[in-house]
Structure 1
Amino acid sequence: MIREWPSPKSVGEVRSFHGLAGFYRRFVRDFSTIAAPFTEVIKKTVGFKWEEAQEKAFQTLKGRLTNAPFLALSDFLKTFEIECDASGVGVGAVLMQEKKPIAYFSEKLGGATLNYPTYDKEMYALFRALQTWHHYLWPKEFVIHTDHEFLKHLKGQQKSSHVVQLIFKVPTQP
């Protein structure tokens, strides 16, 4: 059914597909970043305009929904790992054990977070992942994977950075 879904021809059809896809967002890595072009079409101030970016997002989501990886069951006796990433429009993370995904998280950036420098977006991705999955992670040790440039910057980061301060506010109890 999803594979044969035709390209939307109206705002209502975009909303319909986005609603269906959104229901399965936790199974699709980087969902918010992929779906970002849809929000321009859905806005009430903008008329329906289906362009290459929307079509690419539509086809990518259809592919990801029909070929979504199976999520593994969590095992609290094993170490959890978080892999974070940020793009220009969104942040995402994967909760894993033994390289198998347990859950996905993604969020479209807006407002001030959209203007963060890359290292702050990476830190924000980590903050949101810790906030989302703290009930899996507390009180055990876990592993964080993120890109090398971010880690190099983090070494010299001042604790006064607003995003670094967010990390210290993550709940430490379930």
Structure 2
Amino acid sequence: MAATSGFENIVTGLLFRGFQGYFRGFQTAIAQVAPNFRLFREDQTFTNESLKGRFDAIEQARANAETTLNQLAELRRQTEQQQAELALALSQIKDLQQAKPELTQETAALENIAVLDTNTFRETIGAPSILDIWRERALGFGSGFVGCILFYLILKFLSVLL
């Protein structure tokens, strides 16, 4: 049988402490609800001192140990499977990170082509560019502002004359 790893020792210790705390809490709760009821008696002794009784107890302990070993083997198998999945995921992330600069360059090249195609199409149909639109807006705002000032000056001039 292979030696247990540090991870298995930690998990086993945590499970043992967890179950120990759970059963202490359970015993405390039972003691609060039914003070005269004892789940385990402190003076409990095994009464079947016969050879057959001892063999049965040993056989039961062996069966429990086999069950525990089978469960630990299943836990080890699951852990190894999860580690393999994690390694695969990490390698995929590494591949994506290595491919990212190439994809960024391709995306920038496609954006440049799209801008060129858009500008060419806009020039072909005679549609104004964004710069042309903002220039027209600025001229409209400026001419409206100047027009308002001229109208105000004309009204002032006429009010002085009349």
TM-score range (shorter-chain normalised) is: under 0.3
Q: Which has the higher strand share?
A: 1
Q: Which has the higher helix share?
A: 2
Taking CA–CA contacts closer than 8 Å with sequence separation of 6 or more, which of the two structures ends up with the larger relative contact order?
Answer: 1
Normalising by structure 2, we get a TM-score of 0.22
Q: Which has the larger radius of gyration?
A: 2
